Amino acid sequence: MTSAVISTAAVVLALLLVGAVLFLWRLYQDSVRRTDAALMAVQQERARTDTQQAALQRYEVAFASISGRGELGEQVLVETARALGLREGLHFSVQTDLAGGGTVRPDMVLTVGGGRQVPVDAKMSMVCWAEAMETDDATERAEALRVHVRNIRSRAAELAGKGYQRWADAIYGTIMFVPSDAAVVAALDTDPELLRWLLDRRVFLCGPTGFAVVASAAMFAVTDRAIADDVEQVRGQAVRAHRAAGAAVDSVNLSSTHLQRFLSARRRELDALETFRAAVQPLTDAAASPTAIPPVRRAEEQPTGGSPAQQALAQEFSTD
């Protein structure tokens, strides 16, 4: 009896041990799967961070160079112009060589009609303004904005030295395009003398809103000029058509005059021939000729056959 109880207890303990082992094994497998999933998530997050870091480095390199800033600024500028309804080749052109030697090549040239153009530059750096917007330190923000103003002054001095207005004289100056209105407002708030300083150098600082006003005015000017040219062309064609109609009427009148003279001479010729026939008739009778002189056939006696032109001519003779 005692041995049976011990055996039963041993079997139960063995089953419990097996169950515990299986449970621990399942927990181990679950932990391994969770660990693998966590490692995979960490690797994905690391790859995403590396991609973002690479993209950030590319943007930093782009903003650090004039050519990179020009490409990014030109892209924003062109997209803004197209969003306003301007068409490339009609209202604006990009990278236009104004001087012919390649040294004067603004990012965009607006056409305002009458051969006048407005140069637009889009190579302004936005790094310092972005740093000012990202920091929470008031001192760092103020310093970044001061550097932002110095960058604007430096770029404006470069544009003033290029003398774009000598070739594009619609406003006798240059538009400095900044892709953010907030950056323009921040610069003007930081340096109250900035606007006067820029105007003295004929450099007009504007963001997308200011550029929209200038571009819309340019588009309307080109449209009005095109309408005026079309009206002038229609007026010129009307004058030429009037002269051609007058010349055609004069030619018809002259032809009618000559035709009337011809018909009058023809009638006199027929009358003279009829008189001559009447005068010769006694001689024919005296000669006892078996063949009589045929009568003079006038226009009303013409046969009805023939071409339409001949019938029209016969009708003209009979009418006159």
**Three-state SS letters, the chain:** CHHHHHHHHHHHHHHHHHHHHHHHHHHHHHHHHHHHHHHHHHHHHHHHHHHHHHHHHHHHHHHHCHHHHHHHHHHHHHHHHHHCCCCECCCEEECCCCCCCCCCCCCEEEEEECCEEEEEECCCCCHHHHHHHHCCCHHHHHHHHHHHHHHHHHHHHHHHHHCHHHCCCCCCCEEEECCCHHHHHHHHHHCCCHHHHHHHCCEEEECHHHHHHHHHHHHHHHHHHHHHHHHHHHHHHHHHHHHHHHHHHHHHHHHHHHHHHHHHHHHHHHHHHHHHHHHHHHHHHHHCCCCCCCCCCCHHHCCCCCCHHHHHHHHHHHHC
Q: Output the pLDDT for position 135.
A: 82
The closest of 171, 173, 163, 177 to 202, measured between CA atoms, is 173
Number of domains in the chain: 1
Share of the chain above pLDDT 90, in %: 3
Indicate whether 46 belongs to any domain: no
CA–CA distance, 148 with 141 (Å, rounded to integer): 10
Give yes or no for a contact between 217 and 92, defined as CB atoms under 8 angstroms apart: no
Domain that holds residue 163: 59-228
Give residues with Cβ within 8 angstroms of 10, minimum separation 6: none
Indicate whether 238 belongs to any domain: no
CA geometry: angle 102, 108, 110, nearest 5 deg: 120
Q: Output the pLDDT for position 37.
A: 85
Q: Output the pLDDT for position 66.
A: 47
What values do phi and psi take at 288, rounded to 5? 55, 40
Q: Output the pLDDT for position 224.
A: 58
| Structural tokens at position 98 | 């104004």
Indicate whether 133 belongs to any domain: yes
Q: Output the pLDDT for position 253.
A: 79
Q: Output the pLDDT for position 289.
A: 64
pTM for this structure? Answer: 0.50
- pLDDT tens by residue, 74-121: 777 888 888 878 887 777 888 777 666 666 778 888 887 666 788 888
CA–CA distance, 168 with 99 (Å, rounded to integer): 10
Indicate whether 118 belongs to any domain: yes
Q: What is the mean pLDDT of each run of 10 residues along the chain (320 residues)?
A: 71 76 82 83 81 60 49 76 80 75 76 77 81 85 90 89 74 84 89 90 87 78 62 74 78 80 80 75 68 68 50 50
Indicate whether 176 belongs to any domain: yes
Indicate whether 290 belongs to any domain: no
Give yes or no for a contact between 260 and 232, defined as CB atoms under 8 angstroms apart: no
> Dihedral of CA 87/80/222/94: which sign?
negative
Indicate whether 184 belongs to any domain: yes
Indicate whether 291 belongs to any domain: no
